[in-house]
Amino acid sequence: MPLLQNEPDRIFTYKDYLTWNDNERWELINGMAYNMAPAPSVNHQRISRQLLLQIGIFLSDKPCEVFSAPLDVILPATDEEYEDSKNVVQPDIVVICDSSRLDEKGCKGSPDLIIEIVSPSSASMDNIKKMKLYEKNGVKEYWIVHPIYKIVTIYKITENGLYGKPEIYSEEDKIEVELLKGLSVDLSLVF
């Protein structure tokens, strides 16, 4: 994920982000701008669609909502206003159970569940930078989907506010989602 080329040392905010070209997808992590190009692969899209279907059908009569990218998720530091936030991401899939976090521009604050589907250009971003960001902001569950290896790694926030030991599932497994009691995600359909 390349950085913004014309100002590599500048710290950007959500306010800056809102002025950028709508034809490009960007994310901000700790004030650094990352371009989301190129578009996800067909396999990435298939995986995303299947996860979205399984979660969406389950949530159809429940208060939580599921969204797919692009949806801005603004994660301000404790002392920041939303417009001054240095963290704006567009996860592949998010589940939001607190509707007060939603407005027409996206999600303000942490979603309950975030799913990122790893591509070759996003592996270190998803596994390191975003994991730290999501943990710091109290995202209850963070799933990292690895299409090549056909595994899903799940991090869950613990009582101490940190992610515990990851759970790893393969394509033969069904994930019983604690956060969404009664939801079982069949990975044989995902991969």
Q: For residue 38, how many other CB atoms are within 10 A of its CB?
A: 8
Buried (b) or exposed (e) across 128-149, using 16+ Cβ within 10 A? Answer: ebbbebbeebebbbbbbbbbee
For 115-162, how does the pLDDT look when each residue is reduced to its tens digit (9 = 90+)? 999 988 888 899 999 999 999 999 999 999 999 999 999 999 999 999
Q: Looking at the chain, how many residues does it have? A: 191
pTM: 0.93
Domains and CATH numbers, the chain: 39-190 (3.90.1570.10)
> What does the alpha-carbon distance between residue 77 and residue 74 come to, in Å, rounded to a whole number?
10
Q: Under a CB-based contact definition with an 8 Å cutoff, are residues 86 and 104 in contact?
A: no
> What does the alpha-carbon distance between residue 108 and residue 101 come to, in Å, rounded to a whole number?
5
Strands (E) in 19-110, as ranges, are 26-29, 32-35, 65-68, 72-74, 88-89, 93-96, 102-103, 106-108
Tokens 């009691």 — which residue? 181
> What does the alpha-carbon distance between residue 95 and residue 115 come to, in Å, rounded to a whole number?
9
For 25-38, how does the pLDDT look when each residue is reduced to its tens digit (9 = 90+)? 899 999 999 988 67
Per-residue pLDDT, averaged over 166-188, amounts to: 97
Tokens 């599921």 — which residue? 66
Q: Under a CB-based contact definition with an 8 Å cutoff, are residues 115 and 91 in contact?
A: yes
